């Protein structure tokens, strides 16, 4: 288990970020046990990586406002990895993994984790290339964010006597996947717009036909 933020740890947990000079975060490790990736998830990643999502779509899937999205992009918290806003008429384009990170940030903000610690956590994930996200468990006691690499470490945190909030990133991954499957995307290589059938749109069409 590694931690980010201003917390320090003794014994089992190892800090991935602190004020100690010369320390650099290590690459994230996959969580063993309760949160496991599947072969299907891995095989689907190549298709996911070929699709980008514009700002409004990323907001809808992550559950954030466009103002939050814009602020996080301008301050470097979560920047679009496919295409930045490069001038008039150019729209940001977010990858699937970007949207997952946006939703993780939203979850941590909702539980009161400081923006400084969230920035450190996102930087740690970025240093690892945002790999193995769907296999991670991230937990926070409010002051520190921990990346747990085994069920025993999750148990140790829960036994610490403090309130701990956990994010099974695999669950966030699937939530984002389900949301984006109903929203429009854009092929990165050709710019072709991928129109998905939104259930809300279909319901509206049925109501119009009934009138």
Domain coordinates in residue numbering, the chain: 2-210
Task: Please name which of 111, 128, 148, 150 lies closest in space to residue 32, comparing C-alpha atoms.
Answer: 150
Q: What is the pLDDT of residue 44?
A: 53
Q: Residue 203: pLDDT above 60?
A: no
Mean pLDDT for 185-202 is 73
The four Cα atoms 8, 110, 184, 130 give a dihedral, to 10 degrees, of: 0
Q: Tokens at residue 144, please?
A: 């520190």
> When comparing pLDDT for 89 and 85, which is higher?
85
- Scored b (16 or more CB within 10 A) or e, 17-47 reads bbeeeeeebeebbebeeebebeeebeeeeee
Q: Residue 200: pLDDT above 60?
A: no
Angle at 38 between CA 81 and CA 167, to 5 degrees: 60
Q: Which residue has the tokens 């400081």?
A: 114
CATH topology of domain 2-210: Multidrug-efflux Transporter Regulator; Chain: A; Domain 2 (1.10.1660)
Mean pLDDT for 62-84 is 95
> When comparing pLDDT for 167 and 38, which is higher?
167
Q: Residue 9: pLDDT above 50?
A: no
Q: What is the pLDDT of residue 6?
A: 44
Q: What is the pLDDT of residue 141?
A: 80
The whole-angstrom separation of Cα 198 and Cα 205 is 11
CA 91, distance to chain mean position in Å, is 21
Q: Residue 99: pLDDT above 90?
A: yes
How many Å is the Cα radius of gyration of the chain?
Answer: 19
Mean pLDDT for 172-183 is 94
Instruction: Report the percentage of the chain scoring pLDDT > 70.
Output: 68
Average pLDDT, the chain: 74
Mean pLDDT for 120-133 is 86
Q: What is the pLDDT of residue 87?
A: 66
The answer to whether 94 and 50 are in contact (CB under 8 A) is no
Residues 6+ apart with CB under 8 A from 31: 135, 136, 137, 148, 149, 150
Q: List residues bridging with 167 in a β-sheet.
A: 138
Q: Tokens at residue 34, please?
A: 């309760």
Q: Residue 80: pLDDT above 90?
A: yes
């Amino acid at each position: 288990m590694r931690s980010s933020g201003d917390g320090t740890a003794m014994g089992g947990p190892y800090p991935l970020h602190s004020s100690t000079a010369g320390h650099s975060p290590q690459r994230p490790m996959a969580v063993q046990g309760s949160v496991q990736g599947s072969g299907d998830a891995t095989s689907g990643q190549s298709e996911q990586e070929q699709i980008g999502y514009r700002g409004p779509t990323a907001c809808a899937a992550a559950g954030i406002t466009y103002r939050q999205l814009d602020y996080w992009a301008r301050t470097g918290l979560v920047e679009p990895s496919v295409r930045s806003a490069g001038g008039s008429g150019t729209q940001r384009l977010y990858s699937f993994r970007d949207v997952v990170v946006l939703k993780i940030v939203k979850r941590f903000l909702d539980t009161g984790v400081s923006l400084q610690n969230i920035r450190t956590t996102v930087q740690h994930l970025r240093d690892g290339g945002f790999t193995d996200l769907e296999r991670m468990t991230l937990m926070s006691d409010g002051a520190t964010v921990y990346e747990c690499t085994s069920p025993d470490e999750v148990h140790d945190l829960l036994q610490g006597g403090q309130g701990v909030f956990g994010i099974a990133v695999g669950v966030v991954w699937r939530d984002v996947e389900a949301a984006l499957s109903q929203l429009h995307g854009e092929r990165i290589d050709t710019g072709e717009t991928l129109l998905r059938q939104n259930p809300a749109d279909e319901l509206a069409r049925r109501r119009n036909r009934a009138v």
